[in-house]
Amino acid sequence: MRRIFHYLKPYKFLAILSPLLMIGEVLADLCLPRLMTVIVDCGINAGGDVSESALGSTVMRLIYGEGAYSSMQVIITFGVLMLFVVLVGGFFGVMCAYTAARASQGLGHDLRTDAYRRVMSLSIEQTDKFTTGSLVTRMTNDITQVVDFTEMLLRMLVRAPMFFVGGLIMLMGLEFRFGIVMLCALPIMAIMMVLVLGRAIPLYGTVQKKLDRVNSVVQENVTGARVIKAYVREDHESRRFQKANGELRDVNYRVQRLMVIMHPVLTVVMNAAIITIIYIGGWQIDNVAGTGMSAGTIMAAITYVTQVLMSIMMASMVFQSVSRALASSRRIGEVLDSDPVICSGSVKEGKEDVVISMKNVGFRYPGASGRPVLYDINLEVRRGETLAIIGATGSGKTSLVNLIPRFYDATEGEVLVDGVPVKEYELDALRHKISFVMQKSELFSGTIEENIRWGKEDATRQEIEQAAKTAQAEDFVNGFVDRYDTYIAEKGASLSGGQKQRMSIARALVRKPEILILDDATSALDLATEARLRTALKNELKDTTVVMIAQRIASVRDADRIAVIENGTIRDCAPHAVLMETSETYRDIYESQMKNGGGAQ
């Protein structure tokens, strides 16, 4: 929590000013019962005789001078004075709320920004470990809990203690025995708060974990809505959501069952104290003359008792908020304390004819055991060369290309780009060299132009259109009424699979990369469109090194070389004609596809 409050430093002026303003509001609230005492005792009961009240006589003398005063004068004078005090207290209260909100929301903004940047800097293995649902919860609900607690703390840090101490002092100033009543009530309330909060605090961490689970299920179901409908699994997914939602409800029930005990007990103790004070005051008025006890004094005492006990309730709310904020701050801290596994180097540029080089590379996913995903990989790709990668499902094709932009680091050997080990590159410099089109096309809500420009922020309209033309997306884009200004839904839901792939390729091409990686990025294209795409890429990207993964022989046969991966290692690497003569694995793939009509062209 200390680290979280470090984010208040830029707003320390507001954070200090807010409690100071609260002092003004509390002092105003503490003055009101004393003013009311004068109205009741001197204005209503004594008909304007203020001689019994030092406060009443002093104020009336300052305003009207010496003389006799009517009851209406006393009532109006102190009524106006009370109204003035209320307005002053209200001003301080509003300004306190404003400064507390500015400080806490500023903290939330900065904390959320840093947490987001840290999430963006984490490696894929780290984001997988946290899970998407958990990261969303931490970035939203957990930070909101911390912001709410900060705002409450800035307002209650002074309010609750001042009401407690000030109310007790004013109460004892009226009658010492009234203070004794309060001191007897306090241990009961303190014991109750310790018992309730001691059990409730651990449950708040469980609440956040259950909320993670709900968010994960919702995220999966919204993303996979088409699959769910296609397999008629709505009922199954509804039951899965109901289970996660029910677990969240049950834990919240447990917390709330504990917390609801607090308010009724505090109310009972408060009313018991009020009854005792009324009894003591009434008994003294009836049986002990000359004690100075009056109806106004009893009314003021009741108000002060209420203020003192309300300060205890405020403290209980703060403690409840603390328990939630502590659980949330720990979860946020886990994100902020996660040092990226993939760390940036210092080299910005390298230049060699061998653009990509892999030397004795091996790789296994973090936490995995058994046979490595990749082993004994030795590969060189020269500038302007097109290397195709083919192999059975699960053979390690995608894992291999993921090592080039450092989505993962090789566990053995060395990966070099332009003669420089990728671990020595600045991550931004390395990834600016590369355009990566993945198996699953990821588009964003916005126009077609915005999605293509996402690859190069300062791209001109001409560059965007040329990239779309090369990616064979021009025809379907021109088919829309608004052409490049056509709005596409989130994740490209309004486009077909082939259209999304071509959009993704256009986004990659617009940045004119040194290295273009196509990870099975043409699987949704028909053979004729794919052939036109390959021809366009060959004409437009003469100096670009292309690494493409494909399942179809027709997609790779024109590549300069084809790497055949089998069981995590490269068995053969040569042009199509050579592989047909020397590689049994490649011939098997070719023949199986020819039988099924997939290897034509």
pLDDT tens across 302-323, in order? Answer: 888 887 777 877 777 777 777 7
Cα–Cα distance measured from residue 8 to residue 64, given in angstroms and rounded to the nearest whole number: 50
Whether residue 597 is predicted with pLDDT greater than 60 in this model: the reply is no
Expressed as residue numbers, the domain containing 391 is 354-433+513-595
Residues 175, 280 contacting (CB under 8 angstroms)? yes
Q: Is 264 in the same domain as 173?
A: yes
Which pTM value belongs to this model? 0.71
Whether residue 202 is predicted with pLDDT greater than 90 in this model: the reply is no
* Residue 483 included in any domain: no
Q: Calculate the average pLDDT of the chain.
A: 83
Give the dihedral sign, CA 434/437/443/448: positive
pLDDT tens sequence across 233-279:
788 888 888 888 888 888 888 888 877 777 787 778 878 888 888 88
Residues 208, 331 contacting (CB under 8 angstroms)? yes
Cα–Cα distance measured from residue 601 to residue 599, given in angstroms and rounded to the nearest whole number: 7
pLDDT of residue 17: 92
* Residue 345 included in any domain: no
Q: Is 366 in the same domain as 266?
A: no
* Residue 160 included in any domain: yes
pLDDT of residue 526: 82
pLDDT of residue 241: 86
Q: Which of 38-47, 376-385, 522-531 has the highest mean pLDDT?
A: 376-385
* Residue 189 included in any domain: yes
Phi and psi based region of residue 408 (left: phi greater than 0; alpha: psi -120 to 50; beta: remaining): beta
Q: Is 38 in the same domain as 72?
A: yes
* Residue 384 included in any domain: yes
* Residue 480 included in any domain: no
* Residue 47 included in any domain: yes
- The stretch 390-401 carries a mean pLDDT of 86
- Percent of the chain scored above 90 by pLDDT? 7
Q: What's the length of the chain?
A: 601
Whether residue 1 is predicted with pLDDT greater than 70 in this model: the reply is no
Q: Is 318 in the same domain as 408?
A: no
Residue at a domain's end among 336, 363, 381: 336
Whether residue 594 is predicted with pLDDT greater than 80 in this model: the reply is no
Q: Is 307 in the same domain as 377?
A: no
* Residue 87 included in any domain: yes
Q: Is 192 in the same domain as 316?
A: yes
pLDDT of residue 103: 92
Cα–Cα distance measured from residue 223 to residue 51, given in angstroms and rounded to the nearest whole number: 79
In which element (H, E) is residue 436 found? strand 434-437
Residues 495, 503 contacting (CB under 8 angstroms)? yes
The residue ranking higher by pLDDT, 401 or 497, is: 401
Residues 529, 470 contacting (CB under 8 angstroms)? no
Whether residue 341 is predicted with pLDDT greater than 70 in this model: the reply is yes
Q: Is 331 in the same domain as 360?
A: no
Q: Is 281 in the same domain as 324?
A: yes
Cα–Cα distance measured from residue 34 to residue 299, given in angstroms and rounded to the nearest whole number: 9
Whether residue 601 is predicted with pLDDT greater than 50 in this model: the reply is no
pLDDT of residue 499: 85
Q: Is 363 in the same domain as 319?
A: no
Local structure of residue 44 (DSSP, 8 states) = I
Instruction: Tell me phi and psi for residue 477, to 5 degrees.
Output: -65, -45
Whether residue 591 is predicted with pLDDT greater than 90 in this model: the reply is no
Domain CATH code at residue 571 = 3.40.50.300
- The stretch 126-155 carries a mean pLDDT of 83
Q: Is 46 in the same domain as 148?
A: yes
Whether residue 367 is predicted with pLDDT greater than 80 in this model: the reply is no
pLDDT tens sequence across 43-82:
777 666 777 777 778 888 888 877 777 888 888 888 899 9
The residue ranking higher by pLDDT, 282 or 595, is: 282
Q: HSE (CB half, 13 Å, CA atoms) of 172?
A: 9
In which element (H, E) is residue 574 found? strand 569-574
The residue ranking higher by pLDDT, 368 or 358, is: 358
Q: Is 366 in the same domain as 294?
A: no
Domain count, the chain: 2
Domain CATH code at residue 133 = 1.20.1560.10
Residue at a domain's end among 336, 368, 393: 336
Residue at a domain's end among 309, 336, 363: 336
Q: Is 268 in the same domain as 393?
A: no
